[in-house]
Amino acid sequence: MTAVPAAALEPPFFGNTLGDWALAWGVTLVVFVALVVARRLLGRYHARLVKYGRLGFMHAPLAVFGRTSPAFMLALALYAGLGPLTLPARIDRAATLAITVIAFWQAGIWLSAIFAAWLERQAVQRAPGDHALASSMAIFAPIARVLIWVLVLLLALDNLGVNITALVGGLGIGGVAVALAVQNILGDLFASLSITLDKPFVVGDFLSVGEFLGEVRHIGIKSTRLLSLSGEEIAMSNADLLGSRIRNYGRMAERRVVFTVKVDYGTAADELARLGADIRRIVEAQRDVRFDRSHFSAFTLEALDVETVYYVLSPDFNRYMDIQQAINLEIFREFARRGIAFASPSLKIQIGREAGDDVGAAPAQRENRDGEV
């Protein structure tokens, strides 16, 4: 039997034999299957960790690897399969270009996954009702993703041989022009970042801003929305909000209460001296309060003032009103039992006469004495 020349087994496939192509496809298949199996096994392991709450230092790497795209795994396998082959320079450059683009695209996905895993870890470590973290995530997440993809795009262009110096310079000049055009929006954007970092308030806090009162429902990039007591939604720009004086009742741990009881001037001194002790007893009989002081504080034109200070150990306004109502009712009953009168506004007009006037003198005589008419 005549031997077949080796050249006959070399079809014109870029100068590579059938054996070379078989080896290349074999390497491609093995690498792709290995990547798919590894991703599936690690994904199942990560799912078990999440299910049982065992989120340790492996959580971030597993979460990142789970975001590996099948397209990237296929491109990586094909690139590995090209190793045994000898290809023309233009095809080799095209393959390198393709794998570079896909690799940077996958890097962007991985960086986004790393950021998401970090946010998730922060959420696990914080309390479940941490509204500050929710506000931070709402502000930082979209901004961080945009910055990640801009960085990935610039690095990809640089690795592809594009001169990004002029591009970055153009972006800088264009950025200045855009910043001048949208400076109000940028002011609100930086104000939202300031709110996120400094945390003067978070979602769920009750604010008093000028004449407006409301609960913070949403902190956005441009505006913050409050739900007012009357039910309507109030939208305020972040820059205007930070430029205002804000009273944050959401940070209130307890409420200081000062009230004055006005006592009639006809009250005996001994009764007045006992009032401080009686009011203290009434205040301390209430739940969720801490008594501070009660004193006969001042003489006024219409009353004797007894000033009392106590603390409600709750920020709830309705709870404060319930306590104050109970105290007022008990003081009213105590005054009724002891016969003490509350001062009431009154105006006394006294018409006097000059010394030496005769009460019984006739009007004509008094007029003659005064005016000598």
Q: Exposed, middle or buried: residue 288 (CB in 10 Å: 0-12, 13-18, 19+)?
A: middle
Question: Does 325 lie in the same domain as 290?
Answer: yes
| pLDDT reported for residue 8 | 41
Residue 24 CA to residue 314 CA, distance in Å, equals 73
Question: Does 317 lie in the same domain as 262?
Answer: yes
CATH, residue 288: 3.30.70.100
CATH, residue 204: 2.30.30.60
* Domain-embedded: residue 176: no
* Domain-embedded: residue 109: yes
* Domain-embedded: residue 170: no
Question: Does 302 lie in the same domain as 241?
Answer: no
Question: Does 213 lie in the same domain as 280?
Answer: no
| pLDDT reported for residue 299 | 94
End position of a domain, from candidates 235, 250, 265 = 250
* SS3 label, residue 349: coil
Name the residue range of residue 202's domain.
Answer: 184-250
| pLDDT reported for residue 176 | 64
Residue 328 CA to residue 262 CA, distance in Å, equals 12
| pLDDT reported for residue 157 | 76
Q: Exposed, middle or buried: residue 64 (CB in 10 Å: 0-12, 13-18, 19+)?
A: middle
CB 152 within 8 A of CB 158: no
Number of domains in the chain: 3
Question: Does 286 lie in the same domain as 261?
Answer: yes
| pLDDT reported for residue 311 | 96
* Domain-embedded: residue 171: no
**Blockwise average pLDDT, block size 10, the chain, 373 residues:** 46 68 86 88 77 66 77 84 77 80 83 74 56 58 77 76 68 62 66 78 88 88 87 89 87 91 93 93 94 94 94 91 96 94 74 55 44 39
End position of a domain, from candidates 125, 157, 176 = 125
- Residue 228: strand pairing partners: 214
* Domain-embedded: residue 354: no
At 155, the amino acid letter reads L
Question: Does 280 lie in the same domain as 246?
Answer: no
Question: Does 196 lie in the same domain as 105?
Answer: no
Residue 112 CA to residue 145 CA, distance in Å, equals 6
| pLDDT reported for residue 61 | 75
| pLDDT reported for residue 297 | 93
Question: Does 115 lie in the same domain as 31?
Answer: yes
Question: Does 246 lie in the same domain as 191?
Answer: yes
End position of a domain, from candidates 232, 250, 268 = 250
Residue 179 CA to residue 185 CA, distance in Å, equals 9
Question: Does 113 lie in the same domain as 59?
Answer: yes
Question: Does 289 lie in the same domain as 189?
Answer: no
Residue of 122, 319, 138, 127 lying closest to 217 (CA atoms): 138
| pLDDT reported for residue 126 | 54
* Domain-embedded: residue 134: no
* Domain-embedded: residue 260: yes
* Domain-embedded: residue 290: yes
Question: Does 308 lie in the same domain as 205?
Answer: no
